[in-house]
Structure 1
Amino acid sequence: MNIARLRRLGRRLVELSKPADDDDRPMLTPGEEAVFEDVLRHAGSAVGEIQARTGFAQSHVSASVARMRERGILETGPDPADGRRTQVRVADAAMHALFRRATTPVEEVVRRAVPDPADADRAVALLKELEALLITDESHGAG
């Protein structure tokens, strides 16, 4: 395997980790996904703070937040400490959907992608081994 194949494998694994049914919602654009992930990690942030962490233009962050708010993914509200400031957080319904997806057993997803049961079982075992070897709190954050 070379780096190009590793990247291709990584993209395929990300693709498999995305929801298949989308819960009747359109997928997030890559920019929206980055904003969403930032809000997920830093609930209650202002648009300017999200902009500083993501590196996107403030207009892009504002537009992304507005689109996701309209779709019920994010919520905004005034900062209790400073009413002029607007805080952004993930909507409860989106958190519940995210939790449902995150706790879906990998076996289900792999069996849909790899029809042969023996190959699917082997793929799951290899993924678990890779997880144990490569994912640590120090290497890529907890979780």
Structure 2
Amino acid sequence: MDGRSDVMNQAELAVDERLLGLFNRVLEQALRDNPLEDSGITPPQLALLDYVAASPGCGVGEIADGLALTAPTVSVGMARLEKASVVERQPDPEDGRAVQFFLSERGQALHERALTCRRQRVRQLLAGLTPEEEAQLVALLEKAVDAL
């Protein structure tokens, strides 16, 4: 390896390490923040609630695929959310053996509350940026995610 490539690799590694550190800090904070903790909703249950909110009428298999979970894990989580009156199960009109999940009124209210808390957290995260910097950050993150 020539000296120039070695310097380039060191610079890339430094950027990679900084980004990993920043992403880890954001992720750790997100995992610590459970906007529905007082409602007895756990972070994994919140992920299920979010999925049903985004895909009303989804079934266990779809949720499992979408969240990279096993069907039994989803079934247990959905049963707990149903018991807590967060989701409602209805028979699938196309397959009598399958069920579809929808948010209950309580589930919709909890989802809105979680979204509000998340938006507040994003505002805190961006508080030190100008509107132009915010737009630039979003554009760069979108570009990076599109490259995945």
Give the shorter-chain TM-score range.
0.5 to 0.7
Report 1:20-39 matches (<5 A): 22=37, 24-30=38-44, 32-39=45-52
Find the aligned partners of 1:101 and 1:129 in 2 and give their Cα distance. 27
Change (3 A) 1:57 1:12: closer
Report 1:1-143 matches (<5 A): 2-11=18-27, 13-14=29-30, 18-19=34-35, 22=37, 24-30=38-44, 32-103=45-116, 106=120, 110=124, 124-126=127-129, 131-135=134-138, 139=142
Give structure 1 stretches of 5+ with no counterpart. 111-121
Q: CA deviation at 1:27?
A: 3.5
Give structure 2 stretches of 5+ with no counterpart. 1-16
Change (3 A) 1:9 1:131: farther
Find the aligned partners of 2:130 and 2:33 in 1 and give their Cα distance. 13
More helix by share: 2
Q: CA deviation at 1:70?
A: 1.0
Identity of aligned residues (%): 24
For the Cα contact (< 8 Å) 1:38–1:50, is it kept in 2? yes
Q: Deviations over 1:40-75 (max 9, x none)?
A: 221101112222222322111111110111112221
TM-score (structure 1 length as normaliser): 0.64
Find the aligned partners of 1:92 and 1:129 in 2 and give their Cα distance. 38
Code of the residue aligned with 2:108 in structure 1: it is: M
Q: CA deviation at 1:92?
A: 2.0
**Aligned-pair Cα RMSD in Å:** 3.5
For the Cα contact (< 8 Å) 2:92–2:99, is it kept in 1? yes
TM-score (structure 2 length as normaliser): 0.62
Q: CA deviation at 1:101?
A: 4.0
Change (3 A) 1:60 1:106: closer
Q: How many residues align?
A: 125
Q: Deviations over 1:6-65 (max 9, x none)?
A: 02431355258642x73x3224243x3333332222110111222222232211111111
For the Cα contact (< 8 Å) 2:85–2:107, is it kept in 1? yes
Find the aligned partners of 2:130 and 2:112 in 1 and give their Cα distance. 21
For the Cα contact (< 8 Å) 1:106–1:124, is it kept in 2? no
For the Cα contact (< 8 Å) 1:39–1:88, is it kept in 2? yes
Code of the residue aligned with 1:64 in structure 2: it is: G
